[in-house]
């Protein structure tokens, strides 16, 4: 059953249909909230609030956009509200890596395999720190792409941006992440494309 159909049923009070949607999205919504709030309790509250809001306003879901886009617009708004409330309080971002050292990443092409100077776990922690260093706009769009796996069109719809803007903002976000990691000196040298450093040429 499509998500849009599930949404229609849920809008009529079918809590089982709603639960299917919840299952499909709760992890992604929670992780988005977690990255945006840097606080597991806030993230859980925000996730709950988001889904209750979804339940209450499903009748307004017209089906002319995808359910995922509509949902993330709600989440995005809640995250923005949260950020406003927190704006006076600078908190140290938490590091969220799960201890999963069994991680094995296989590059699609061995010729490009980077040297492994940091463990994957360390890399993830570095990345979390890098993401935390981003402005809210860049962080959000990056998470929508990487955590939610939304297309540019969907992100654009959810955030009210042109696709071209989404594209360039994501590009800029990735550059910022790399700059951050390079500045910390903690990413594998092989990632450090020299092209990133001004006019230096190889």
Contacts to other proteins by CB under 8 A: 11-13, 15, 18-19, 22-23, 26-28, 30-31, 34, 40, 44, 47-48, 51-52, 55-56, 59-60, 96-98, 100, 103, 105, 107-108, 112-114, 120, 123-124, 127-128, 131, 142-143, 145-147, 151-152, 167-168, 170-171, 174-175, 177-178, 187, 190-196, 201-202
**Packed helices 67-86 and 15-37: angle between N→C axes, nearest 10 degrees:** 40
Which CB atom, from 80 or from 147, has the smaller least distance to other proteins?
A: 147
Cβ-based neighbour number of residue 172 at 10 Å: 15
Min CB(65)–other proteins separation in Å: 19
* Contact by Cβ (8 Å): 93, 129: yes
For other proteins, the closer of residues 64 and 100 by Cβ is: 100
**Minimum CB separation from other proteins for residue 16, in Å?**
10
**In the complex, minimum distance from the CB of residue 66 to other proteins, in angstroms, rounded to a whole number:** 17
Closer of 2 and 188 to other proteins (Cβ)? 188
H-helix segments, the chain: 3-11, 15-37, 40-57, 67-86, 120-132, 136-146, 152-159, 163-184
Q: Do 94 and 39 touch, CB atoms closer than 8 A?
A: yes
Nearer to other proteins, 2 or 175 (CB): 175
Q: How far is the CB of 71 from other proteins (least distance, A)?
A: 13
Token couple for 74: 């709600």
Least Å distance, CB 192 to other proteins, is 7
Q: Is 182 strand, coil or helix?
A: helix
Angle between helices 136-146 and 163-184 (to 10 degrees): 100
């Amino acid at each position: 059953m499509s998500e849009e159909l599930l949404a229609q049923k849920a809008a009529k009070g079918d809590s089982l249909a709603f639960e299917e949607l919840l299952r499909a999205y709760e992890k992604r919504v929670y992780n988005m909230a977690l990255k945006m709030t840097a606080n597991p309790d806030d993230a859980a509250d925000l996730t709950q609030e988001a889904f209750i809001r979804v339940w209450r306003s499903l009748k307004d879901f017209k089906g002319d956009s995808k359910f995922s886009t509509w949902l993330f617009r709600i989440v995005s708004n809640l995250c923005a509200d949260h950020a406003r409330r927190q704006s006076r309080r600078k908190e140290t971002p938490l590091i969220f890596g799960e201890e999963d050292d069994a991680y094995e990443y296989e590059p699609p092409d061995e010729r490009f395999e980077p040297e492994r100077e940091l463990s994957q776990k360390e890399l993830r922690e570095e990345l979390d720190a890098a993401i935390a260093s981003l402005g809210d706009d860049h962080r959000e769009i990056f998470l929508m792409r990487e955590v939610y796996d939304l297309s540019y069109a969907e992100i654009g719809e959810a955030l009210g941006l042109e696709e071209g803007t989404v594209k360039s903002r994501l590009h800029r976000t990735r550059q910022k992440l790399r700059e951050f990691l390079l500045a910390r000196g903690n990413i594998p040298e092989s990632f450090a494309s020299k092209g990133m450093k001004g006019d230096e040429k190889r």
